[in-house]
A and B are shown apart, each in its own frame.
Chain A
Amino acid sequence: MDKAKIKETALGGLLRNNPTFVLVLGTCPTIATTSSLFNSFAMGVATMFVLVFSNLFISLLRRVIPERVRIPCYIVIVSTFVTIVQMVMRRFLPDLYTSIGTFIDLIVVNCIILARAESYAACNKPLYSMLDGVSMGVGFTCALCLIGIVREFLAGGAFAGFAIPGFPVMDATAASVFGFIVFGCLMALFNFLVQKWNARAKRAEQSLPLVREGAEEVAK
């Protein structure tokens, strides 16, 4: 296996191709299910499970699936794993299912999953595809958790369900509307950091030529 490709795939989903902040895919669960850290984490892990296994199976079947019916085939495979997650969650975590169940059913239309199936799993080997699924899934989960932490803190001065003494409870901020606001502000922060980082990289480049660009070419 190619080391550079592994590194590229594994880190791609976390930062450079982060599904939430850079690609802006799957925004519905990002806003609707991030009212607390626990919900965000559960949603992220459920999505990651579906992503990893659908990537694996689509990649395994990539030579069998005919070009013209590929989308229905992907949909069938993805919806199978979504339904498995839904049934297992309803059986073992009924409380969680009542709060985010609607959005578990909607993982099947989460753009991240079909986008990765089409653009990565359909033309890469199974292990790379699984790694891509894990990377994208972790990137998505981290972003969701970050929003969850901020929202939970704003709404109740709490972290992961435990109240932090000395912080007031603000009911208004618990409303889902704050999903939009917190998501927007965090994305702006992300953009700000990326812009800063790019500017610094540019300045550094001017002073001494780096091999970075060349390395990326090789990786591709």
Chain B
Amino acid sequence: MDKAKTRAVLQSIGVLAAIALVCGLLLGAVYTLTRVDPRTEAYARFAQDTELTFTIPERDPGEGRETDYTVTAGSRTMTGHVDVYALSDDGSTHAFCVRGEGGYRGDVQLYVYIEGGAVAKITVGENGETFLGQLEASGFYAQFLNVPVEELLSGSGVDYVSGATRSSNAVTAAIGAAAGYYREYLAEGANG
């Protein structure tokens, strides 16, 4: 009696698992077929923001490079990630799609452009928190603009917007990641 019951339970689990496995594999196949290159969207945004042309290369320039950065500012420690890096076709602008951890709605996405060794432009990506607009209005981004990356990373300090600390942290982490990546691989004398 007990044996029969165990068998029935095992059979139920087996059938369910088999169906789930087959369905999962099928979906995996469809996913691979319909997937869009994740870089497409970022490259389109780069071109739109800078009015330059960006072509997706065969071999990703970021291959094998470190993408996770720990950013410190004063006593704060944040984490930022470089998701996509691209060089404009005319070679003048380094474009970054970066994420900073810890915003109100999860990660904050930014597009950062470095031109001639200094941050030239910052635009806000998706998942725009209400605070990102306020940060912009209060001149938070402006303090990073046109500052040479060297200087930015020499620890001159970041001024926070009080009352929006989490958003400021995430934005700082994102910009810090782009700057760290630039110094590591792209600046003159870097091993990149």
Enumerate chain A interface residues (CB-CB to B < 8 A). Answer: 61, 64-66, 68-69, 72-73, 76-77, 79-80, 83-84, 87-88, 90-92
Contact = CB atoms under 8 A, between A and B. Distances in A.
B30 A66 contact: no
B15 A65 contact: yes
Contact of B34 (A69, A76, A88): A88
6 contacts: A66-B11, A76-B23, A79-B23, A80-B23, A83-B27, A87-B31
Interface string B22-43: 0100110011001110000000
Contacts of A66: 8, 11-12, 15
Contact of B19 (A61, A84, A90): A61
A61 B23 CA distance: 13
A84 to B, nearest CB: 5
Contacts of A91: 34-36
Leading 7 A-B pairs by shortest Cβ distance: A91-B34, A80-B23, A66-B12, A69-B12, A87-B34, A69-B16, A76-B20
A83 B35 CA distance: 13
Given A88-B34, A91-B36, A76 B27 contact: no
B58 to A, nearest CB: 22
A1 B121 CA distance: 70
B127 to A, nearest CB: 15
Nearest to B21: A76
B16 A73 contact: yes
A75 to B, nearest CB: 10
A64 B23 contact: no
Given A88-B34, A90-B34, A69 B20 contact: no
B42 to A, nearest CB: 16
Contact of A88 (B8, B15, B30, B36): B30
Residue of A69, A72, A83 most packed against chain B (CB within 10 A)? A69
A72 B13 CA distance: 10
A61 B20 CA distance: 13
Size band of the interface chain B makes with A:
10 to 19
Contacts of B23: 76-77, 79-80
B34 A73 contact: no
Contacts of B36: 91
Could you tell me the dominant secondary structure of chain B's interface residues?
helix
B26 A80 contact: yes
Contacts of A84: 26-27, 30
A72 B23 CA distance: 13
A87 to B, nearest CB: 5
Contacts of A83: 27, 30
Contacts of B30: 83-84, 87-88
Contact of A68 (B12, B20, B27, B35): B12
A76 B15 CA distance: 12
Contacts of A92: 34
- Which residue of B11, B13, B30 has the most chain A CB atoms within 10 A of its CB atom? B30
A90 B8 CA distance: 41
B15 A73 contact: yes
B4 to A, nearest CB: 13
A77 B20 CA distance: 8
B27 A80 contact: yes
A84 B8 CA distance: 32
A68 B5 CA distance: 12
Nearest to B16: A69
Contacts of A72: 16
B33 to A, nearest CB: 8
A64 B27 contact: no
A10 B69 CA distance: 61
